Amino acid sequence: MVNPNTFLIVILVSLGISISIYSYKIGIGSINNPGPGLFPFLLGSLLFLLSLYKINIFFKKKRLDETTHVRLFFKKLFALLFLLFFYAIFIDLIGYIFTTFITFSFIFRIAGYKNWFKIITYTICIMFISYLGFTYLGVRLPQGLLKMVY
């Protein structure tokens, strides 16, 4: 029987490649004039690279019981799908900063990080870098709850 981690890695690699190809077809534009496919292209490329990293870890890690793998795989898969659904639904309502913070905090937790200090630090770094990048590109991000403050 095929190991569920192998199945997951194949799905993630093919998903990363597919997202990158289709977003490139949409048009990624340039740094000064970004197209609608730029962000999905970057995310697809990141997914592909992280999947390659996962392949490396997979072959070095000792294997668990197969039923444990299957349960863990589906729990993580459904948790990630729920988080992405949450992100898409609430980004306009809550805003980019809060939604990204909540989503990435739980993504890091699902990915296996146990130390909440590291999780929050990495999440803040991702938020800060992506916010600066979008601001530099002139993209207006949803303010959500921050509209009440300003």
pLDDT tens over the chain, length 150 residues: 456 667 778 888 888 888 888 888 888 887 788 888 888 888 888 888 888 888 777 766 655 556 677 778 888 888 888 888 888 888 888 888 889 899 999 988 888 888 999 999 999 999 999 999 988 988 888 887 766 665
Contact 67, 120 (CB under 8 A): no
Q: Which two structure tokens, joined as six digits, stand for 130?
A: 């992506």
User: What are the extents of the domains in the chain?
Assistant: 1-63, 75-150
Per DSSP, the residues of 116-131 read: HHHHHHHHHHHHHHHH
Residue 70 has what pLDDT?
Answer: 74
Within the chain, residue ranges assigned H as helices are 4-26, 38-60, 66-94, 96-111, 116-137, 146-149
**CA dist 63 to 5, 7, 17, Å?**
10, 14, 27
Sequence-distant (6+) residues with CB within 8 A of 38 are 23, 28, 29
Residue 122 has what pLDDT?
Answer: 92
